[in-house]
């Protein structure tokens, strides 16, 4: 969190979070308890904790996050879980195709290797209301760099750290269409950001 700038960074997994944290770590509030606000805490959990700590509800920070094309993000998860360190683990994708990974992801009860969450649900409360004020595209991080430079009054270049090894992945049209139907809210949210590289949302006055 960055109290002096009234900002909080919410780290959606597989969206360059390591790079962003590295760029901003020297400006973060070091007094914030890590146990209260752990990495990859959802917006709903973050603001519940915030209002628990601040019962009067005043001074809640503007949250910002990065969103990634949903299929590309699933591909990053799939590649990340193919690494040798996970060999033999229930989370390993070494012995499944990307097609099978996505099909498993779409099940109501998933096997551990495909349990990777949803970006729309990360950003919203239980009623589906947006809690993240500023949302940026993973695929246009220069827009986020500009925002951070203005907000912090100093350049904050983002180096892409902790990236999964690139590889070609194939997904059938049938599975792609099914993914888009079942996760329509996530695709719409990404589309609302993709054109300009960012979007600003009206955050509910009361949590």
Note the pLDDT of residue 39. 79
59 dihedral zone (left: phi>0; alpha: psi -120 to 50; beta): left
- Alpha-carbon span 184 to 181, nearest angstrom: 5
Please identify which residue in the block is written with the tokens 């590309």: 72
Question: Which of 141-160 are b and which e, b meaning 16 or more Cβ less than 10 Å from the residue's Cβ?
Answer: beebbebbeebbeeebebee
**Is residue 204 over pLDDT 80?**
no
Contact 144/9 with Cβ under 8 angstroms? no
Threshold 0.85, pTM exceeds: yes
Note the pLDDT of residue 205. 59
Query: Kind of pairing, strands 62-67 and 7-9?
Result: parallel
For residue range 105-122, what is the model confidence (pLDDT) as tens digits? 999 999 999 999 999 999
For residue range 89-106, what is the model confidence (pLDDT) as tens digits? 999 999 999 999 999 999
Bigger pLDDT: 22 or 91? 91
């Amino acid at each position: 969190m960055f109290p002096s700038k009234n900002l909080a960074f919410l780290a959606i997994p597989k969206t360059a979070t390591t790079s962003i944290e590295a760029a901003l770590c020297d400006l973060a509030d070091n007094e914030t308890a890590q146990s209260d606000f752990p990495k990859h805490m959802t917006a709903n959990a973050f603001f519940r904790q915030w209002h628990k700590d601040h019962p009067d509800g005043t001074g809640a920070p503007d949250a910002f996050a990065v969103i990634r094309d949903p299929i590309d993000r699933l591909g990053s998860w799939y590649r990340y879980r193919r690494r040798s360190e996970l060999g033999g683990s229930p989370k390993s994708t070494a012995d499944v195709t990307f097609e099978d990974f996505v099909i498993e992801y779409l099940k109501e009860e998933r096997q551990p290797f495909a349990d990777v969450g949803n970006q729309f649900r990360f950003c919203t409360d239980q009623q589906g209301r947006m809690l993240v004020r500023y949302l940026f595209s993973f695929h246009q991080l220069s827009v986020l760099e500009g925002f951070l430079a203005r907000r912090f009054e100093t350049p904050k270049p983002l180096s892409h750290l902790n990236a999964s090894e690139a590889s070609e992945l194939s997904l059938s049209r049938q599975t792609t269409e099914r993914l888009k139907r079942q996760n329509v809210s996530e695709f719409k949210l990404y589309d609302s950001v993709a054109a300009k590289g960012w979007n600003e949302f009206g955050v509910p006055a009361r949590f």
